[in-house]
Structure 1
């Protein structure tokens, strides 16, 4: 393969939140580096697209644990507007298909479920979270839907021990101009090569050779920030093979959560309101009404339902939402909706899903995926985070840590 622009001290694979955080740290180190990104844009699973004049977050959209989330400060320093309005995900803003009495009963069932989750003892083993459901409880389908939204997978596929470790301050804010736009602005000045997919990392020799879609790049060290499915499927392969990484990535799949954004002609809807499409079903949408007061409805779909609707093709999310919302508001309501945008993260070849969850019995896989190899290969991304997985801030913190480790390792080699 043709050689590109020579050797680097460090190469970063991936320009998502983790790769950009690593790049910022490397830029301050004085070392030579490049970020190689397979997509024709930066941001990874953070992406803001403007449609009908509105910035739409197609990937991550909430500053989770916003009071300690580094992106909150970064976005504000870059001039973005932080909306501190609290979300209302867990309750129905309108008494449609979900009475106040039923909402109170669901809230009690939810509190009890999460109390059982918090109280689960390690001695009981790492079992599927579905075992924590109360047998016969009417609200089990909606609790399962909640897992599909949060984990991208239903409870039977989620490790209890891994989920327990998630750190949540329960403060959730938004970036008015787009979370994805803020992350892209953060990385705009970094040296990034777009459309440059890394297919092989050969770490057998004194220097590491990376085969890419634009030629060969060599480096002393590499920071890998690609999602687990690309490692498990060897879209980015290693020689010598890293069997521990392959096995860890295989049990940290990306669950699926997709978004549908529609325009709506209904100014009487509560701004920032929320509806469940069908509170008695797992296969249901979660709908945010008029986010930021805009004439939009943002639908959220997770787990098996999201996979089924992606497989059904373009427009399937919209048709499903029109059916659910039509049943709530009346048949004529669908005529007031128009499709603006829908995602298909499972079909994205550079992510193959939305965010990671550990399969039952594999709660320790994150540490295995994150562990450096020979002080030359370093790994980052939300799947490597023990407490902040599935978030952009978890990706950021692991990218920063990987870069710190890479810089320190090089300093040791230079002694």
Structure 2
């Protein structure tokens, strides 16, 4: 698998979306309800959703993640244990924010920047009163606001003016540190999904729940019916109305629209001479402006550079293409290592999550005043249509383990609904 040749058949449960949440829900139902027929539908051509690992000759036996890459809150992250169960290796090299190696000067300017950033996040965490946007917590005229904006944009995938302080303060990925899967986070999630009956390339266009006894599902490859449906597609897909609910579910569409996906794209650069850069070292492209990349030099020792762009900068570079992204990254790396470093670099791979037709972005953020809508999005409708995905998580949104947890929770609710009807 994946594979399921049935056409037009009735299933007990149809799950829409084969990302972390959909796969987690399917595996949970397989474990607790082996009597149910379960089918996973995926509009794309692979399992994993926003988790996607690629292999490159330059990286040897290490896979590189074009989507989620860090096991955040790794000690209690469910995917950490699953990695061992499916035969993958978890690497414990510290992340830059967990004490890993950073390329930065130890001077008065660096200490001033660090203090300003710390003060900003303390203001966020101590904020009381009405919800507001993250930009409201900036000190007007602070010379380090550019670097603060860059960091905030990496966190949410959007500019500070768009993102909720309350939602930021609810974020809790669990106890660290953060680790990586050597063969790739995307490889892990894909491998975990293999035992699930799946149809790839199936785009759901309509969910008709007018009938009491069944839900009719229309797709680009025909129709089928189910007793229950679990929707795990991204908020951008829901908000765009790509799946029509009949009767409509306006409260879900509104919640999705106010929990949009931010954007973070990755550019992997080949490094001809791996000795030209230090291994597993992090650097920020610019310490003064918000539109800058963040760089992991030789992640896991591979002969590559992982460049990470977020927010409006990511949108601009994605539209302009690989050459523009390469030129931007080359300029920032040359400023740190000299102009000759460009001769060592070439484009290996680049993500384009905003343009991904069945996804439309990277991870959700809440607009000011919208954080509580995560619970509204997650709530079942009529105990027959269920919802899961990272955007449904109150505290672990934007993470693959948050998606996993919402998938398992939805599966348990679905099981309870079936048990009451039995």
TM-score (norm 2): 0.94
Residue correspondences, number: 408
Q: Tell me whether 1:200 sits opposite 2:206 in the alignment.
A: yes
Equivalent residue number for residue 3 of structure 2: none
8 Å Cα contact 1:272/1:290 also seen in 2:
yes
Equivalent residue number for residue 22 of structure 1: 25
Deviation at 1:315, TM superposition (A): 2.3
Q: Tell me whether 1:237 sits opposite 2:244 in the alignment.
A: yes
Q: Tell me whether 1:223 sits opposite 2:192 in the alignment.
A: no
Equivalent residue number for residue 185 of structure 1: 191
Q: How does 1:152-163 map to 2 (within 5 A)?
A: 152-163=157-168
| Secondary structure of 1:114's aligned partner | helix
Deviation at 1:209, TM superposition (A): 0.4
Q: CA RMSD in A?
A: 1.5
Equivalent residue number for residue 104 of structure 1: 111
8 Å Cα contact 1:255/1:357 also seen in 2:
yes
User: In 2, distance between residues paired with 1:352 and 1:138?
Assistant: 34
Equivalent residue number for residue 88 of structure 1: 96
8 Å Cα contact 1:93/1:270 also seen in 2:
no
8 Å Cα contact 2:101/2:280 also seen in 1:
no
| Secondary structure of 1:282's aligned partner | coil
Deviation at 1:92, TM superposition (A): 7.7
User: In 2, distance between residues paired with 1:93 and 1:232?
Assistant: 39
Q: How does 1:33-182 map to 2 (within 5 A)?
A: 33-52=38-57, 53=60, 54-89=62-97, 93-95=102-104, 100-121=107-128, 124-168=129-173, 169-182=175-188
Unpaired segments ≥5 residues, structure 1 = none
Deviation at 1:321, TM superposition (A): 0.4
Deviation at 1:189, TM superposition (A): 1.1
Residues 256-285 of structure 1: per-residue CA shift (max 9 Å, x gap): 000011112241522111111111010100
User: In 2, distance between residues paired with 1:382 and 1:359?
Assistant: 16
Deviation at 1:88, TM superposition (A): 1.4
Residues 283-333 of structure 1: per-residue CA shift (max 9 Å, x gap): 100001111111111000000000000111232211110111112221121
User: In 2, distance between residues paired with 1:255 and 1:75?
Assistant: 27
Q: Tell me whether 1:386 sits opposite 2:389 in the alignment.
A: no
Q: Tell me whether 1:292 sits opposite 2:300 in the alignment.
A: yes
Equivalent residue number for residue 349 of structure 1: 357
Equivalent residue number for residue 12 of structure 2: 9
8 Å Cα contact 1:92/1:276 also seen in 2:
no
Deviation at 1:93, TM superposition (A): 2.9
